Amino acid sequence: MALILQAKNLNKAFGAVTAAKDVSAAIEQDSVVGLIGTNGAGKTTFINMITGYLKPDTGAIEYEGRDITRLPPRDITRLGICRSFQIPQLYSSLSVLDNMHIGLGIVLRNAGLGGYFARPGALVPGFGKPAEEVAEHLLARFGLADYRSRNAQVLPGGVRKLLDIALTMVAKPRVLLLDEPTSGVSAQEKFGIMQMVLDAVRAEGATVLFVEHDMEVVSRFAQRVLAFYDGRIIADAPPAVALQDPEVKRHVVGRARA
């Protein structure tokens, strides 16, 4: 399969702390990759470097053959790499629907359809439908339709997570990075939420990288696992293999949160 994203020998240090040590990974198009590791192992640093929040000290990131290492987050987003956050980043004083419309507005503006002053009825690129319909479509996909007029601030934790992910989908990302999509979600809900998210995301055709602490979730949903320890990738294999790796067992699985 074709490669869509490639990290080459990334290094990143914060003072004496090494957050990434010679991290390399090649991500195939349409794959679902799970990132595992204890807190501080370098998973979020990896995501932050890909999305432009952090610049690696050395190394390069290529997306569809193009070097994106030094681009700012918004340019990387425009190219089709989107992310969700461990702590959902919402427009909390606004309704769920307004949240979606802000995102859709940005998509319209970036598509150049009248820029900042795009007409409300303009067709959203990638969906070929007006913003109103795209919003409803995505809200339904993520099970958020009943919450549409609720204020984002008062949503239950799991719903906030879903909205955070739904917000990334307005731009039709080609690569989606999910930072702990099921953290703060009850054990019973985890599988359901993960299934819904992956169904929705895969239906829109995106490659997925997700950070996860629950090994059952990882083995069920990931096609491939990148195990991080101490800023390095210590295993890169399908879950059945990676989770049995002695080093992974010692450093990750044995110490993972329940």
Partner 1 sequence: MVLLIGGPWLPQWAMFIVTIAFAKGLVALGLMLLLRAGLVSFGQALYYCLGAYAAGALGRFFGVSDIFAQMLAGAAAAGVAAFILGFLLAKYRGIFFGLLSLALSMILYGLLVKNEALGSTDGFNILPSTLFGMRPGPGWVRYAVLASAGVVALLLALAVHRYLNTPLGRLAPAIKDNEIRVEYMGASARHAVHVMYVIAAVLAGVGGALAATTVGHIDPEMAFWTTSGEFIFITILAGTGSVVAPFAGALLYGVIHTTAYDLSPNTWQLSLGAALLLIIVFLPEGLWSLFAQRRWR
> Binding residues for partner 1, per CB under 8 A?
51, 72-75, 77-78, 82-83, 89-94, 98, 101-103, 105-110, 114-120, 167-168, 170-171
Q: Are 238 and 226 in contact, with CB atoms under 8 Å apart?
A: no
Dist. CA 24–CA 174, nearest whole Å: 20
Q: At what angle do helices 96-110 and 157-169 cross, to 10 degrees?
A: 20
* DSSP H or E stretch at residue 229: strand 224-229
Q: Which is nearer to partner 1, 179 or 212 (CB)?
A: 179
Dig out the tokens for 52 from the structure.
Answer: 């432009």
Q: Which is nearer to partner 1, 27 or 90 (CB)?
A: 90
The nearest distance, CB 256 to partner 1, in angstroms, is 28
Look at phi and psi of residue 61 and say left if phi exceeds 0, alpha if psi is from -120 to 50, else beta: beta
Q: Are 131 and 105 in contact, with CB atoms under 8 Å apart?
A: yes
Q: Which is nearer to partner 1, 18 or 151 (CB)?
A: 151
Q: Which is nearer to partner 1, 108 or 242 (CB)?
A: 108
Q: Which is nearer to partner 1, 11 or 110 (CB)?
A: 110
The nearest distance, CB 1 to partner 1, in angstroms, is 27
The nearest distance, CB 199 to partner 1, in angstroms, is 23
The nearest distance, CB 200 to partner 1, in angstroms, is 18
Residue from 148, 159, 161, 62 nearest 101 by CA: 148
The CA-to-CA distance between both ends of the chain, in Å, stands at 34
The nearest distance, CB 116 to partner 1, in angstroms, is 4
